[in-house]
Structure 1
Amino acid sequence: MSPLFPDLTGDAQAPDRPALRFGDRSLTYAELTAVTGALADRVKGGGRVAVWATPTLETAVAVVAALRAGVPAVPLNPKSGEKELGHILSDSAPSLVLAAPDDELPASVRELERVDVDVHDTGSGPAPDERKAAEEDAALVVYTSGTTGPPKGAVIPRRAVATTLDALADAWQWTADDVLVHALPLFHVHGLILGILGPLRRGGSVRHLGRFETAAVARELSAGATMLFGVPTMYHRLAEALPTDPDLAKALGRARLLVSGSAALPVHDHERIAAATGRRVIERYGMTETLMNTSVRADGEPRAGTVGVPLPGVELRLVEDDGTPLAAYDGESVGEIQVRGPNLFTEYLNRPDATAAAFTPDGWFRTGDMAVRDPDGYVRIVGRKATDLIKSGGYKIGAGEIENALLEHPGVREAAVTGAPDPDLGERVVAWIVPTDPQSPPPASELATHVATRLSPHKRPRTVHYLSSLPRNDMGKIMKRALKTDE
């Protein structure tokens, strides 16, 4: 197939154009071509390689080098515990680990042959010919979060990486002139594939902040960056800082595109950012197994609370519990999202049973996400089938829309909604609230009325719990399985 990174073939139109920058360390396209070519020459011909995925220049170089060598990369989350790391390493069986020279690796990883990534080593021989790789060859093995058992390794082919990034280029009008800012981890789809490989496929630039700070975002957007990728937690912090930081508001207003993903961005934060900057955040929807499925388009309506329309090449349908496709796009009927297209993974590594269960007999991937679809095709996700679909009094209720309604109440800082068994309703709606003022939380009856008047009475919370914070993972997603009650 054609190279994933045309500008790293040695024939870049602008070899001195900045490619990657992490803090004060950077590489041009010419330098990145040489460095990744030298490293690719060292790892070519082997099996999978693990990458100790810190938010550093070395991680980006390691992954790109593996892809240029036609060798699948297995990103390792440095925050994973020994048990999880042990499972991933035994399951993926990498031949070696790529790491920055000063990285201290845990015991399970130290058992692998180690290759230190030298971002100054330009080598001397020719780089492997990336065009020899087939489109179905594995590019990455990315491990899922493992909420229902040990993490599963999703095998992502080169075809999926290329088609997803090209579909996003179409939706976002993404070009070589774009400069992306982000501070996301580099062991998952959002931060690594979209945030690093995306700009490099376009011939553009990445400025990684290392860690998220509102001042750093403002600095980079004021200094020529055109796009920002973030998760809802980051955009919430930006929204909180805007009232007292006019420079931040100006910087965000200069951005060509503000993109949020990995979880739903509350409508309240959408509106606060738009009011202060004149710029609306757009959302997209994807997952490890499918890469990206939908997005609000750069030339489309940035409608808060939606994840836009299917990307070019992606088929999407909503189905009933029995698998019957929903015929109506009425903005109300809830169904599970199923997708089909070239953006999908090929298999769960060493798990033919799980792979088979993930697909319908006619080849659609079961996402487990529940959504409604508006008449014009826009998709609104209302939650996960396993944790966010509440069946109460004969209704199917999505937790996400109730959470958004609760976040519109001035007394609510954070909100999560779950279901609990109920002898009368089947399940009742339970709200978990972090109040704006812990000393004076809004009464449960007031929150119930607030939701009932905005949505409908059957969606109001019947039980309210007050917390100091909500449990979240590294991506800012609320871990609802940690919200337990003895009721």
Structure 2
Amino acid sequence: MSPASSPVHPSLSLRQLFPGLVQGAGRGDDRPDALAVDGVSCSRADLLAAALSLAGRLTGARTVVVEATPTLDTVTAVVGALAAGVAVVPLAPDAGPLERGHVLRDSGADAVLGDPAWAGEAESPLERIPVPAPGTDEACRLDADTRAGSFVMYTSGTTGPPKGVVLSAGAVAADLDSLAEAWAWTAEDVLVHGLPLFHVHGLVLGVLGSLRTGNALVHTGRPLPERYAAAGGSLYFGVPTVWSRMVAEPATAAALRPARLLVSGSAGLPAPVFDALTGLTGHQPVERYGMTETLITIGARADGERRPGQVGLPLSGVRTRILGEDGDPVPHDGETVGDLQVQAPTMFDGYLNRPEATAACWTEDGWFVTGDVATIGPDGWHRIVGRASVDLIKSGGYRIGAGEVEAALLAHPGVREAAVVGEPDPDLGQRIVAFVVADEGTDPAVLTQFVADGLSVHKRPRRVEFVESLPRNALGKVQKSLLIPGA
């Protein structure tokens, strides 16, 4: 299947994309604090008015950049750009000049919404369009029935310069509806999170999901445990780092007991954190899996089982398969590792200006190649091992998932964090190396034997390095290339 034969998404108006926002803005019970970001709140009506006012100023624009700070300005800017039918590019606030310059050039942006400090630099000669504050009555306004725009969201660039992933409004709507069904997510919820607004998790799921569903949203600005606890939500989104910090403060974690559902994503949740969170809050967290290119495709359900270290079952309309190196399907035995491929109604439209890279992501028989390795159990439950490029270790003729070894290490009471990589070895091809944050006095030989006893001898680390911390990105994913160059 080529990109042309990937799902064809319907054209949606802003009203169709965000019925919860548009309908809520017209109701008499519209709350003045329906949307709150870092302590600043507004009603749906005020947000919609400001966004449509902004949209009216974007006539002639094709692509706009938004410095995605955790503010109501960012929400207004994104909704306004979508309302104007243009492509919106969320940019990380801490992006350096090289990364920022690449995104601006590659996206072809012709305007920036707001007035970030870098917008006046010589290498960033973009038109600056101010973002009206919610509640201001601007004369220039579009109708909510205008065709909605799209997203260009940039990948992390682990295999080269970041690529722009083009996501349509239709793909976003399809994914949010499948998650609402899986998590029993309704307008009665109060969603709380403090995740970055330049990634799918924080922006698409956390913010746009609330505008589509019509629930109240509390973005905490920073994902601090005390802010989560004080928000009084029914539905919480977090990454493993958030939940790890939460369980480190038992009294704070206990404040989440009245919640309905805790969701973890963007990286695997260590089993000890899963267990601690369950004990302190009374909730087993739901995990899910996805990519920028596919949005969320696999997850546990609100009314179903949750298992530490596993992400669940395919969401509605999603199909998955795992293949071996020979291209043949591998057994669904929960142990055999294979390359994960998916088919879904939530797929991206392609990489911006990169038709060859887009085509390379698809197999001849129409499956998207995720680049991740996984196992599938006899009952269909999925466990994500990690990226094929860094988390599939080929040692002594065995295919070993780094995630399995990391989970085994984290089961040791002296280990707080672990990252496993494959290091070139003249005899084995690759040898397993573990970078571990551990309690003082932990013996590397004991950890090696602990893994050998729990898994099998060929999966034991050949070297254990103790470190003070693991390098992580904004979503809590370990940056393994910083541990061993080329890993």
Q: Per the shorter chain, which TM-score range?
A: over 0.9
Residues 31 and 143 (structure 1), Cα distance of their counterparts in 2 relative to 1, 3 Å cut: same
Matched residue SS, 2:175: helix
- The Cα of 1:281 is off from its aligned counterpart by 1.0
Per-residue CA deviation, residues 341-374 of structure 1 (Å, 9 max, x unaligned), is: 2111011001111111111112211111100011
Match of 2:67 in 1: 52
CA contact under 8 A between 1:69 and 1:128: conserved in structure 2? Answer: no
8 Å Cα contact 2:55/2:141 also seen in 1: no
Measured against aligned partners, the alpha-carbon deviations of 1:415-438 in whole angstroms (never above 9, x if no partner) come to 10001122332221111111222x
| Alpha-carbon distance in 2 for matches of 1:105, 1:19 | 32
Does residue 1:356 correspond to 2:359, yes or no? Answer: yes
Q: How does 1:81-480 map to 2 (within 5 A)?
A: 81-99=96-114, 103-105=116-118, 107=121, 110-119=124-133, 120-130=135-145, 132-133=147-148, 139-221=150-232, 225-242=233-250, 245=251, 248-326=252-330, 328-437=331-440, 440=441, 442-480=442-480
- Report the Cα offset of residue 485 of structure 1: 7.4
Q: 1:201 to 1:30 in 2, by over 3 A?
A: same
Which TM-score applies when normalising by structure 2? 0.93
Gaps of 5+ in 1: none
Larger relative contact order (Cα-Cα within 8 Å, sequence gap ≥ 6):
2
Kept in 2, the 8 Å contact 1:70–1:130? The answer is no
Contact 2:61 2:111 in 1 (8 A): no
Q: 1:315 to 1:108 in 2, by over 3 A?
A: farther
RMSD: 1.9
> What's the offset of the Cα at 1:255?
1.2
Q: Partners of 2:465 and 2:234 in 1: how far apart?
A: 41
Cα shift readout 1:126-176 (whole Å, capped 9, x = no counterpart) = 52344535xxxx510000000111100000111110000000000000000
3-state SS of 1:405 partner:
helix
- SS of the equivalent of 1:253 reads coil
Secondary structure of the residue aligned to 1:43 is coil
| Corresponding residue of 2:6 | none
Residue 459 (structure 1) shift? 1.0
- The answer as to whether partners of 1:371 and 1:381 remain within 8 angstroms in 2 is yes
Letter matched to residue 445 of structure 1: A
- Aligned partner of residue 105 in structure 1, secondary structure: helix
User: SS at 1:331's partner residue?
Assistant: coil
Q: Tell me what 2:5 maps to.
A: none
Q: Which amino acid in 1 is paired with 2:271? A: V
Given residue 50 of structure 2, which amino acid in structure 1 is its aligned partner? V
State how far apart, in whole Å, the 2-side matches of 1:309 and 1:152 are. Answer: 28
Amino acid at match of 2:142: A
Q: Shift of the alpha carbon at 1:104?
A: 2.2
The letter for the 1-side match of 2:424 is: P
For residues 183-233 of structure 1, what are the alpha-carbon distances to aligned partners after superposition, in whole Å with 9 as ceiling and x for unaligned?
Answer: 111001011000100011001111111112211111113xxx111111111
Contact 2:39–2:220 (CA under 8 A) maintained in structure 1? no
More divergent stretch after superposition (421-430 vs 69-78): 421-430
Q: 3-state DSSP class of the match of 2:470?
A: coil
- Tell me how far 1:412 sits from its aligned partner: 1.4
Structure 1 residues 109, 37: closer, same or farther in 2, change over 3 A? farther
**Alpha carbons 1:15, 1:30 under 8 Å: kept:** no
Distance 1:486 1:72, change over 3 A: closer
CA distance in 2, matches of 1:325, 1:188: 32
CA distance in structure 2 between the aligned counterparts of 1:480 and 1:454, rounded to whole angstroms: 24
Cα 1:278–1:139 change in 2 (3 A) is same
Q: Structure 2: how far apart are the matches of 1:486 and 1:374?
A: 31
Q: Deviations over 1:60-82 (max 9, x none)?
A: 11101111221110001111111
- CA 37–433 in structure 1, closer or farther in 2 if over 3 Å, else same: same
Contact 1:21 1:206 in 2 (8 A): yes
Alpha-carbon deviations, 1:224-282, whole Å to 9, x = none? Answer: x111111111100011111xx2xx24322111111111100100100111122211111
What is the Cα deviation at residue 110 of structure 1?
Answer: 4.5
Question: Which moves more between the two structures, 61-70 or 419-428?
Answer: 419-428
1:34, distance to aligned residue in structure 2 (A): 1.1
Deviation of 1:14 after TM superposition, in Å, equals 5.2
Going from structure 1 to structure 2, the CA distance change for 1:334 and 1:140 (only over 3 Å counts) comes to same
My pick for the range that moved more, 316-325 or 32-41, is 316-325
Shift of residue 108, structure 1, vs aligned partner: 5.9
What one-letter code is carried by the residue in structure 2 that aligns with 1:173? Answer: A
For residues 427 and 358 of structure 1, what CA distance do their matches in structure 2 show?
26
Secondary structure, aligned partner of 1:9: helix
> 1:91 & 1:277 partners in 2: Cα distance?
45
Q: Which residue identity does 1:261 align to in structure 2?
A: G
Counterpart in 2 of 1:29?
A: 44
Gap change, CA 1:458 and 1:266, over 3 Å in 2:
same
Alignment of 1:53-92 (within 5 A): 53-92=68-107
Q: Percent identity?
A: 51
Aligned-partner SS, 1:298: coil
For residues 192 and 75 of structure 1, what CA distance do their matches in structure 2 show? 9
Structure 1 runs, 4 residues or longer, greater than 3 Å off: 7-15, 128-133
Contact 2:36-2:42 within 8 A present in 1 as well: yes
Unaligned ranges ≥5, structure 2:
1-11
Change (3 A) 1:360 1:239: same
Q: Distance in 1 between matches of 2:368 and 2:28?
A: 40
Count of paired positions: 470
Superposition deviation, residue 55 in structure 1: 0.8
Cα deviation code 1:438-474 (max 9, x no counterpart) = xx2x222100111112222211111111111111111
Are the equivalent residues in 2 in contact too, given 1:152–1:349 (CA < 8 A)?
yes
Cα pair 1:183 1:208 within 8 Å, conserved? yes
State yes or no: 1:7 paired with 2:20.
Answer: yes
Classify 1:178/1:425 alpha carbon distance in 2 versus 1 (closer, same or farther; 3 Å). same
